[in-house]
Chain A
């Protein structure tokens, strides 16, 4: 165990001196321990992010604690976040004195004890080995690959996620020993607010939430507002389906977020900051709460921080759940206790925001970049990425992919490389498409996966990085079905304030539904409406983009437009041939009764809601295709498997 308060007592030294341990052997030994360069006894790190817990990390942990106690093994168990490789959870790492930290994947209750027994006797278990962390001061495990050489980590540049899954997210000492808060202290002791704004401006950091607005520019506007109460809001209301980047950062390294917020607040001279976080992120909420408490105890928050005269209060507010509250004015309305509806701009929040005071709203991932920029300088940051997009970007990769998880890559990386990092599409099916950026993003086909992750390049291709959701589709997925899914999401989440979004999303959904449903009559009005709708899709999209009040409506047509651009043939196939190649659109399936198998039991005819099945008992039945609505009830209920789908 660490001597009590050792880090707290040496705080100024640790945060302001590049080599704090020089000439202080006690501190050196303890820092080395916190950095895991040197351990006195076995340490077991358990991946306790949301993904790990759902995969069973709690059970694994209980088994381990029980085992250690029963066998009198002297070891410390530490909870860590997720390293980003969610598919391999529960992940545990073990470090014994003198040897490198070694990582094991998919550790069930049974394998946990075997692994611990093997490692404590200094030999390797047979299975579950993932890799070891490179450390020149320690003895390597033979024939175990280094983590940074694994295909999942090779192409990544872990800056924001560097500590996620490595350090204890619930201990501020671990964070400080690993450079935490040095950026903030540097900002308040060495720079004026204006200089901090200038550094971030020079770094050309762009907002990671979707609008890609220059963060430095926003801060300068915030700083220029008259003195008095100002607010800084960290937007962690990550509500795009399929994106879990912010959660990953908040669960794995909450102190990094608090440091980023503190720097931003100092830059605009705000003495109050608010973290607005999604209510479903219980674990992230708990970790942030705990981190805030610790930061106050260390006077890294509160009054007169480090005798600089700067005061900062950070409070945590839990978003009651509305997608539109990702928009800054809607978020502010929600914090004021109103319905979360956006307001017309100007005035911008930076002029008149929360409770009428100047307010700067930054996304959580944007703020997580800030400590690194302060620590390493604007020039360092500008060198990462492309000419116009600097730094790294996190993607939450999911769908039909071998390795689901969070991947951090340099701007300018090819989409293909992200796919490769994530291990490609498993099984026999082929890659069909990648959807980036959730309901306001776009979809691309396999011909365009050499596209680079760059704000401008992606926009030209009709894509948006958005919140960083990266959804992989195989040949067994239907593009129209996904487009419909996102449009239904928008239609449900539209706040209803402006007509283009409220009505437009409803109409778009209707048009898409008409294409994917079986019509009662192929002729006449129904058919005409279907064609008319498709022709109108593009003009409707334009109206929504140009006239919607906020980003939710303006970007809502993106999935449809990009799908029309890259998968036009699939739309035509649905409209003209009435076919869904992937077999997903239930409404377009034809059900046929095999006359040789059908016994005439009448169950299908009884279940059919459209009275489309005719026949007499004890002789084969027949489905009238013109009447069939494609619900599949007959197929589900046939006991003789006489009904086939075409």
Chain B
């Protein structure tokens, strides 16, 4: 009888589904803007394209207060340790969108100075192609991320991020042991990963 009294006040669901529903509709973006993609991002956030329609309008410039990092521009090898630190500082659970070809693969900058894709040093969830991509493209990337969040399991996301923290500890240990700069440490980790045939250092 009790079930009948509360019939439409209760909804049964899976925990993953309800938590992920909340997560995907309240993303807090943090722009890591280093090049022209950041200009498209500004346009995406402001009234004409308006990302707040997708529940991600609370932009924060502190990694501590955000959970979706948008990498907007060319990441140089000198910037690589900074990117890793900023990613580590973000609130969990966290997601990364690599916006534009420079962030995704180095783009046209196939040189000694440019990191050939941020997915070598931090886990990336969605890649947005374009040079720079239009605001619609970046919004489409955010929508793809929302679809992905909807489907993922809570523990997998946790393990995913834990693997990154483990690599950060390896980086610190290597840096202390060899007395290198953080840039050179990441470079050596990348070289080592490349020789082992692995594409990433985490």
Partners in one complex: no
Q: Which residues of B contact A (CB under 8 A)?
A: none
